[in-house]
Amino acid sequence: MDGASDVASRWTVSEDEITFRFVASGGPGGQHANRSNTKVEATFDVQESASMPAWLKERVTDKLGDTIRVTVDDERSQYRNRQLALERIQERVDRAAKVDRPRRKTKPTRGSQRRRLDSKRRRGDVKKGRRRPSADD
């Protein structure tokens, strides 16, 4: 693992830098769902983060934008949905911080080329066998 992504995996989003909004979950559920604001809408402003290093801010902003918004209503508990929202924001930051290795072009091997042409030839023979016989046959 390179140094940059190693640092990003150790950097954690602080709960103080996230804005939480709680609303009622949609769908069926009876009295509990109708009266409880268990759905969590969490917003993390990347540019306003005081604890995030500048290089990480730049990388996350390039890939995800200035704000990261997550909505969670998986559980019945507001506390659990809040924890899931924190985890999802952290996962998005970690994925955005990861540096992808550049792809190196490769040539197809001689064997793979031969197998491809053989399969094309076999397929052509199958189709030729389905044709209506000509006058010569």
pLDDT digit string, tens, across residues 101-114: 899 999 999 999 99
Q: What is the DSSP string of 68-111?
A: EEEEE-SSS-HHHHHHHHHHHHHHHHHHHHPPPPPPPP-PPPHH
CATH label of the domain that carries residue 47: 3.30.160.20
Residue 66's domain comprises 3-97
Kindly state whether residue 109 falls inside one of the protein's structural domains: no
3-state secondary structure of 10: helix
Ranking 9-13, 30-34, 61-65, 124-128 by mean pLDDT, the lowest is 30-34
Kindly state whether residue 103 falls inside one of the protein's structural domains: no
CA 137/CA 125 separation, integer angstroms: 16
Q: Which amino acid makes up residue 121?
A: R
* CA 47 centroid distance within chain: 21
Average pLDDT over residues 5-31: 76
pLDDT of residue 117: 98
pLDDT band of 126, cuts 50, 70, 90: very high
CA torsion sign, 101 to 106 to 108 to 109? negative
Kindly state whether residue 86 falls inside one of the protein's structural domains: yes
